[in-house]
Chains A and B, each alone.
Chain A
């Protein structure tokens, strides 16, 4: 159609039609176009690069198998995101050893009159936090990995991948309210996990 350089936008009807007619080149094209974004998503969900690549490969094999049943009502990008998220979740679940901690203990507690039980301490400015940026990112990543999966996945899709509420709901097949509730709880829980490092006297 256009001679411009390839973009991550592969949602055009032409490609889908060619995939449906088993056009070999179309499959290769889809892999080339879609893999970078799907891999970037998987890297945020999986503990290692090898796991992320495995999940993307699983996702594609699933997608190829299910393509005949893809009704085209959702966008191809949304559909592939969905399959990739599921591939990651499957892998994570198969190896989980200990039960996840409940998120409730990380949410704020209130007095009967609705005030916070423990006043929130002021966070210092991130830049003057006293720890190196790489170290800080590593710390935040490891705290994110402690969040229960259903919350972590919403945080990744909304706050990191930049999907909106509707897109996230479509990928996870949950309601808009569920996405909003989980995102809010995930952020609150992550804040609680980071409080010891960014609030109070620790430099």
Chain B
């Protein structure tokens, strides 16, 4: 019961409670559990609306949502106890529940072990005993079925963000320091207990959740920023720091994190490095292989490998950290990283274009690179199918009135607003006058910049709204980037699985393509009402063979995890794979680190 206010405000207790309840629905607070784990934003807002991770967006959306409440007032209403501010919050409750009402009923995710019957639990792995649990408990906080944790308590650790993969762990350990991790892994190696290192659990290939009863080693409690050098821009921090947190910290000091992706409110930097995440600005700031200077990791036998260099250049032997970058937790757990960070841009612009054909998209890309050169920081392509779905799920009006088949989002980042605006305006005039683009808009404020980005960053979440998504993240030659999407859509139509005006309830909602055009990286997504074997049969191995023919990558940035583990040979030859398997066996002879995934040593 809220305490009585000292001020003479006559806001009744009941209405005040309603205000708090309604407001909490919008500012979804972190659920506090026994372990005080912060529930990731993506999970809180799963399926119902776009994650509004930036406070100013939340504020703007709150006021915008207030617009949508049906007004029953054309006469003076005497509602004495309720203030206007309270009303605004009450109205967002209406908006929030409307979105929730249209969400499909929650289905139980299939166990990964059932979806992949070819995976067998390693016969040499031990089972967890009471002594094991007691030992881990003596090291750090744990969540254990043997200590009263229910399936619901373990679900956030067992299940992935897309609700596609579900494991069967009975034990989650949450180390607070590198020494904790070392003790845990040493014990697991001796006892032959399989483990899954887990960060923000935002991965898209099922690499961060168990398949069977692997122990989940969750890094969320290791979230200290260790140091930051303001002159060199080198940041050293624990692996469990959330990307957005690191970025906000750096922004206070005039720098930014060289990586940015849609999941930034929930993902951990350790996980980003373990997956060699690409993100939205790889075009400008390069890959983690270039920006990460050092890695502190614990090897499978518990040895602490301290390669946490803060040196920009260090040519003294094999560059071990490169092995860990992109290793997906299979040769050790990353516990800290040091990374060199770029300057915070003083001037940023975002423009959104409508384009009539993929040919024109390519031409626009060339023109943009020529005109903007060093200030270009992102070049993203989206098709109209993806934008339609975002509009449908969020209920928001698209920034462009026309309906072109393709959209482009470009961003510039620089140190001089006049210089950047001049270059950008010249480009915009050129593109419009010579009809490379048919429509477009330029963000006039930071708020508009974030809103435009939301139409690109929100695609992944909107697609999941219907029930499920098959995600393919591929690198193919730029010329053919969109051909794959058309081919897949045609195949779905021929198989009678695609929703059409005649059959609007078919299992496939749509096939969409979008992605980092600047990196030749397409995200092909097939949004479905539920995961369906018939859809999978059409997609695989067709997509992998298509890519193999063009010598592309079956996983440009998402990694292998469980999803792509069996298809790695479409992008890697036998010799490469043999060397990789040798490395894995050398680091992890007992095979306890994230088994059943990535490049399987024994396969």
Partners in one complex: no
